[in-house]
């Protein structure tokens, strides 16, 4: 019985998503409102969110906001369930000075929660709560 309890405990720990942060990394480029390049040369897709593409309403604002927040600054990265997306970019939550940048973009209306990948986003429910106020008050992308 003691052995079984230890095995179950180890399995629970191994299957629990980690909030471990890697870094610091420097942001060397902002590609758009949800993709950056870090000093290792890797592209990082901010996990769980989606911002407008070029020529769409609020594209420039979202890109400029992300740039203001992180460009040339030290950040830390938190892995999501999947390591990489279909285009080979790292899927991460970006942290800086104790703040989750993904959440800031959603909260302030620069990004929508990416519902298509809800099953693969460990912070999906929390981000949907953040999105509600932005949507209800027609902030940013919700005003388009």
In a domain, 93, yes or no: yes
Backbone Cα Rg of the chain: 17
Q: What is the structure's pLDDT at 2?
A: 53
Q: What is the structure's pLDDT at 1?
A: 55
89 is catalytic: yes
In a domain, 5, yes or no: no
HSE (side-chain half, CA atoms, 13 Å) at 31: 14
In a domain, 4, yes or no: no
In a domain, 76, yes or no: yes
- Give the mean model confidence (pLDDT) for residues 122-141: 97
Please identify which of the residues 45, 79, 92, 107 carries the catalytic annotation: 45
Query: In this structure, what CATH number is given to the domain that contains residue 49?
Result: 2.40.50.90
- Give the mean model confidence (pLDDT) for residues 94-115: 97
Please identify which of the residues 89, 92, 130, 131 carries the catalytic annotation: 89
Domain span at 109: 20-143
Q: What is the structure's pLDDT at 140?
A: 97
Q: What is the structure's pLDDT at 14?
A: 44
Is the omega angle on the peptide bond into residue 54 within 30 degrees of 0, that is, cis?
Answer: no
Residues 64-82 pLDDT 10s? 999 999 999 999 999 999 9
Going by pLDDT thresholds of 50, 70 and 90, the confidence category of residue 107 is very high
> Into how many domains does the chain fold?
1
In a domain, 10, yes or no: no
Beta strands (DSSP E) in the chain are 21-32, 35-38, 43-46, 49-50, 74-84, 90-96, 99-100, 112-113
131 is catalytic: no
Going by pLDDT thresholds of 50, 70 and 90, the confidence category of residue 96 is very high
pTM reported for the whole predicted model: 0.86
45 is catalytic: yes
In a domain, 11, yes or no: no
Residues 18-64 pLDDT 10s? 579 999 999 999 999 999 999 999 999 999 999 999 999 999 999 99
In a domain, 56, yes or no: yes
In a domain, 35, yes or no: yes
Task: Please report, rounded to a whole number, the percentage of residues in the chain having pLDDT higher than 70.
Answer: 88
């Amino acid at each position: 019985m003691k052995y079984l309890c230890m095995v179950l405990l180890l399995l629970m720990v191994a299957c629990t998503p980690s909030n471990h942060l890697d870094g610091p990394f420097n942001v060397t480029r902002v590609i758009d409102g949800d993709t950056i390049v870090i000093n290792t040369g890797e592209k990082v897709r901010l996990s769980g969110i989606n911002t407008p593409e070029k020529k769409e309403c609020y594209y420039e604002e979202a890109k400029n906001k992300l740039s203001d927040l992180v460009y040339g600054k030290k950040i830390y990265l938190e892995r999501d369930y999947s390591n990489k997306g279909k285009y080979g970019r790292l899927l991460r939550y970006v942290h800086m000075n104790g703040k989750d940048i993904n959440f800031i973009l959603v909260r302030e209306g620069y990004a929508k929660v990416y519902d298509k990948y809800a099953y693969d986003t460990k912070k999906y429910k929390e981000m949907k709560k953040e999105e509600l106020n932005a949507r209800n008050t027609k902030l940013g992308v919700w005003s388009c």
